[in-house]
Amino acid sequence: MNMISKYGRLVKFSHTIFAMPFALMSFTYAVKSTSADDDLNIWVLLLQVVMCMVFARNVAMGFNRWADRDIDAKNPRTAQREIPAGVISPRAALTFVAINAVAFIVVAATINPLTAWLSPVALAVVMFYSYCKRFTSLAHIVLGLSLAIAPVGAYIAVCGEFSLEPCVLALVVLTWCGGFDIIYALQDCAFDREQGLHSIPARFSARTSLAISIAMHVVSVAALVWFMLMVDANWLMWCGATIFAAILTLEHILVTPTRQRNIGIAFGMLNGLASMLLAIFSIVGMLLM
């Protein structure tokens, strides 16, 4: 159990709450849109999707911690992370990543041919993010793209094909996550500049960085409204969308260029709450349609 908790902390397993709700929303929409009536198969498929989400998350964060181990050791904020602190060795972390990567591909291959073919592509995207800060300030967008794979993958798992609706939901995730990652990166602005690392806050002022974050979240809300209109959302789903938009607004009220002490609350608690409540209202709403 102690070892499990160590690896759970390594990959920040609690942060699965960011993408998982959107995957479940997309999964529910796919099931409802196909009028699937095989209850047993749906539950098996749901388990496969959740397993893929967990394995992909472990690969993404485990590889990120491994790739950034030397950078993390230099940063006072991250020096006590598991690898630089010596709790988990770099070799053990990489082995953990490899095991989860294989598990992800194997489970994806049992779903349908398209998920099987796309599984290595998904892994390549989530692992590529770890090196982006070394050469581009758009690393936040790549992180958003990594998480945006979730709703598209969940839909493909059910339907075996692409569709516009989950892609619009992916746009919500991409801009939402990219926007709040800019807020999170404000903490390391001085360190990133000193080390020659790239981020929006390292390149621009805090005021400009937060303006970019706000713009991205405006796109998130607009894309969510688009999704709701496409699926002919009921009042419950619209309630979830309204709460999501309100929480994003609160996030930007709490974090300003001159007041950054609330970054932890905005990044972790508020964004997790936003995704959970949106998913709960939307999934219940779709099931009642």
255-264, long-range: CB < 8 A, 24+ apart? 255/183, 255/186, 255/210, 256/210, 257/205, 257/206, 257/207, 257/210, 260/186, 260/187, 260/206, 263/183, 263/184, 263/186, 263/187
pLDDT over 90 at 10, yes or no: no
Q: Which residues contact 5 (CB under 8 A, 6 or more apart)?
A: none
Q: What is the mean pLDDT of the chain?
A: 93
Check: pTM over 0.75? Answer yes or no.
yes
The string of pLDDT tens digits covering residues 63-94 is 999 999 999 999 999 999 999 999 999 999 99
Is 245:278 a contact under the CB 8 Å cutoff? Answer: no
Q: In whole angstroms, give the CA distance from residue 201 to residue 209.
A: 5
How many domains is the chain partitioned into structurally? 1
Mean pLDDT of 166-187: 96
The string of pLDDT tens digits covering residues 31-63 is 998 866 566 689 999 999 999 999 999 999 999
Residue 9 is part of which domain span?
A: 2-288
Any idea what the Cα angle at residue 252 is, between residues 250 and 257, rounded to 5°?
Answer: 145
Q: Would you state the pLDDT for residue 97?
A: 96
Q: Would you state the pLDDT for residue 43?
A: 92
Q: In whole angstroms, give the CA distance from residue 143 to residue 159.
A: 26
Q: In whole angstroms, give the CA distance from residue 270 to residue 263.
A: 10
Q: Which two tokens mark 169?
A: 């939901």
Phi, psi (rounded to 5 degrees) for 256: -130, 170
Q: 109: how many CB neighbours lie within 10 A of its CB?
A: 13
Confidence of residue 16 (pLDDT cuts 50, 70, 90): confident
- In one-letter notation, the amino acid at residue 125 is V
Residue 84, SS3?
coil
Q: In whole angstroms, give the CA distance from residue 159 to residue 162.
A: 8
CATH number for 267: 1.10.357.140
Q: 47: how many CB neighbours lie within 10 A of its CB?
A: 11
Residue 259, SS3?
strand
pLDDT over 60 at 214, yes or no: yes
Q: Which residues contact 26 (CB under 8 A, 6 or more apart)?
A: 150, 151, 152, 154, 155, 165, 166, 169
The string of pLDDT tens digits covering residues 220-276 is 999 999 999 999 999 999 999 999 999 999 999 999 998 888 898 888 789 999 999
Q: Which residues contact 139 (CB under 8 A, 6 or more apart)?
A: 129, 132, 133, 198, 199
Q: Which two tokens mark 215?
A: 């713009």
Give the single-character DSSP code of 266. I
